[in-house]
Amino acid sequence: STSDILKGKKVMITAGPTREHVDPIRFFTNHSTGKMGYAIAKKAAEWGAEVTLISGPVSLEAPKNVKLVQVDTAEEMRQAVFEHFKASDVVIKSAAVADYRPAIKHLEKLKKQDGSMVMEFERTTDILKQLGEEKEHQILVGFAAETQDLEHYAMKKLQSKNADIIVANNVKQTGAGFGGDTNIVSIFHRDGSKKELPILSKEEVAEELLKDIIDLVIHKAQG
Ligand code: PMT
């Protein structure tokens, strides 16, 4: 059956938010709970893949038969991802990685002062983009959290990140995106094909995505 295709394949999945620290007690983050990425990890492991789950801080338990690597910042996530990249067959980037971090991480608590405050931010590394540049045999899957023009931004990300698949979710839609147990996604491929899915549980979304990845694996094996 098709689900045998993933047996023994090395699948790396990123999940959850990152934290970008201002001082020892404050950080910037986002609403990701890790549910989407953990659901993919669970399904991939059930279908026989050797799964490494690189996770930002979330309150979920690691699924069975999954190797969990816990990270905090975007930079820690980047390092963990590149430690496992060469050996991976498939990489799925469902984490919500910060695009910016405070330019200065204060070693002591910032004290309040009179008046308003301006803080400078600097860019983090775009991990997906770097993966696309260093990609060899790997199948690379990115996510796109958008609030408008899904198809346009997804197709742009496929090209600019050299990804094989982009999973786009409109995070403004009820039942989609951050936090809940469901998602509404469209899966875009490099050949221009797309699969628009209705509202599904995050586990069902994981199954649909893994089926598309399996098709790609079969396609690649046939040259
Ligand atoms: O965790 P849940 O609560 O279940 O929510 C699921 C989700 C909404 C987080 C998930 O479905 C999702 O959309 N994840 C991607 C969120 C995101 O950061 O999207 P983006 O459009 O900003 O980034 C695009 C892609 O680049 C993503 O694959 C992201 O992992 C990657 N990226 C982004 C920034 C960065 N510095 N490095 C990256 O690799």
**Residues contacting residue 22 through CB under 8 Å, at least 6 positions apart:** 28, 102, 105, 106, 110, 119
Going by C-alpha positions, the residue among 148, 153, 143 that lies closest to residue 173 is 148
Band of residue 165 on the pLDDT scale cut at 50, 70, 90? very high
**Which residue's CA is the nearest one to ligand 1's atom 13?**
145
pLDDT of residue 16 exceeding 60, the answer is yes
Band of residue 158 on the pLDDT scale cut at 50, 70, 90? very high
Give all domains of the chain, ordered by start, each with its CATH number: 2-221 (3.40.50.10300)
Tell me if 14 sits within 8 A of 81, measured CB to CB: yes
**127-134 helix and 74-85 helix, angle to the nearest 10 degrees:** 20
Provide the whole-model pTM.
0.97
Annotated binding site: 99, 109, 143, 157, 161
pLDDT of residue 187 exceeding 70, the answer is yes
Mean pLDDT of the chain: 96
Residue 134 Cα, ligand 1 centroid: separation in angstroms?
Answer: 19
Task: Output the ligand 1 site: residues, CB below 6 A.
Answer: 32-36, 74, 93-97, 99, 124, 126-128, 142-145, 169, 171, 177-179
Average pLDDT over residues 95-103: 98
pLDDT of residue 83 exceeding 80, the answer is yes
Encode 15-71 in three state secondary structure: ECECCEEEECCEEECCCCCCHHHHHHHHHHHHCCCEEEEEECCCCCCCCCCEEEEEC
pLDDT of residue 3: 65
65 is catalytic: no
Tell me if 50 sits within 8 A of 63, measured CB to CB: no
Best of 90, 91, 97, 183 to mutate for ligand 1, by most ligand atoms within 8 A of CB? 97
pLDDT of residue 223: 76
Going by C-alpha positions, the residue among 151, 17, 115, 24 that lies closest to residue 74 is 17
Coil, helix or strand at residue 221: helix
ipTM for the predicted complex: 0.98
pLDDT of residue 132 exceeding 80, the answer is yes
Taking each continuous run of H as one helix and of E as one strand, the counts in the chain are 5, 14
In DSSP notation, 187-208 reads EEETTS-EEE--SEEHHHHHHH
pLDDT of residue 1: 57
Calpha distance 29→25 (Å, rounded): 13
Calpha distance 72→34 (Å, rounded): 13
